[in-house]
Amino acid sequence: MVLDQGLGDIFVIRVAGNVLDNNALASMLYAVTNLGSRLVVVMGHSKCGACTAAQGAFIESQRGGSQNKGTDPVSQLLEPIIHTCGDLARNAGNPGSGDLESAVPVEATVEQNSISTATSVFQALQQNLSSEILGEIVVAAGKYDLDNGTVKVLHQLAP
């Protein structure tokens, strides 16, 4: 209902935190090559639990907490988002550990993670699609606001 479309109008792939894995990529390739999809949208949302968890893990690691990268599925899912938190902190000038919450806010993490994932999706599609099909594809990053129902377009990639 976010995009005011009915059943069958959109091929939806949901992954917590909008991370790209082989299953999500295979699903996108199926939608593009077999169903004719030409728009791929990586849609984050406000108050994202995965981004909140990644922010917390990043801050804990920066304050001398656990440095271990877990091998469990949730830790693996959060890893690219934690990397995004690190990028945000570096762009904020590597603030001290006391100011990390303001340097790596959850909402900025949601937005940057959507952009980073959309860029990764576009690169993966470039590697897996013919130039003819790729020339018709648009990949966009967006953020859905749970409070007011609006969608903010953050970034768009096209050949």
Comparing CA positions, the residue from 93, 34, 99 lying closest to residue 62 is: 99
- 45 marked as part of a ligand binding site: yes
Q: Give helix 73-91 / helix 106-128 axis angle, nearest 10°.
A: 110
Helix, strand, coil abundance in the chain, percent, nearest 5: 55, 15, 35
- The greatest distance separating any two alpha carbons of the chain, rounded to the nearest whole angstrom, comes to 51
Q: 3-class DSSP state for residue 13? A: coil
CA 88 to chain centre: 14
- 85 marked as part of a ligand binding site: no
Which string of DSSP letters, residue by residue, matches 129-148? S-HHHHTT-EEEEEEE-TTT
Binding-site residue ranges for Zn(2+):
45, 48
Query: Residues marked as binding?
Result: 45, 48
